[in-house]
Amino acid sequence: MKHSLMGIILLSLTLNDTSSIDKTKFFLENIVVCEEKEVIKINVDSLVKERVLIAQQYQESRFKHDAKSYMGAVGVAQFMPATWNWVKKQEAIPQNASRTNPEHSIIAQKYYMDYLLGLPYINGDIQKALASYNCG
């Protein structure tokens, strides 16, 4: 359970000291092969596989736990305050969870992506779920 999360955190730390070209090359060579594993098995049986979650984290924050967007999204999974508070109300993460804590952020990301995939108008379509996630 914690090995995958630790791998993501260690990967994040190692990638922060390299250029974006090196990060992209490393990501494409080493991460994209992870098709069938789940990132974390905590509280939720995720519908989203590790490959999608990691690609999403890379796109959202380049794996930086303290990344901040000009719109107010924070963390490795770039949560807006309202969405973060909604996930906390669902009791998917602790009430004192921090958007800059990678473990909290990744658990919330999984929960929210699973929620989006289950909506009738998304109906399991990963592209629609990713687009919806990006909207807030």
Domain coordinates of the chain in residue numbers?
2-134
Mean pLDDT is lowest, of 20-24, 47-51, 59-63, 96-100, for: 20-24
Q: What is the mean pLDDT of residues 52-65?
A: 90
Query: Using CB atoms within 10 A of its CB, is residue 9 exposed (0-12), middle (13-18) or buried (19+)?
Result: middle
Please give the Cα distance from 61 to 74 (Å, whole number).
9
Closest CA to 40 of 28, 25, 19, 57: 57
User: So what's the pLDDT on residue 76?
Assistant: 94
Task: Give the N- to C-terminal CA distance of the chain in Å, as an integer.
Answer: 28
Of the pLDDT bands very low, low, confident and very high (cuts 50, 70, 90), residue 91 is: very high
What residue has token string 């993460």?
Answer: 93
- Say which residue the tokens 């109300």 belong to: 89
For 2-134, which CATH class? mainly alpha
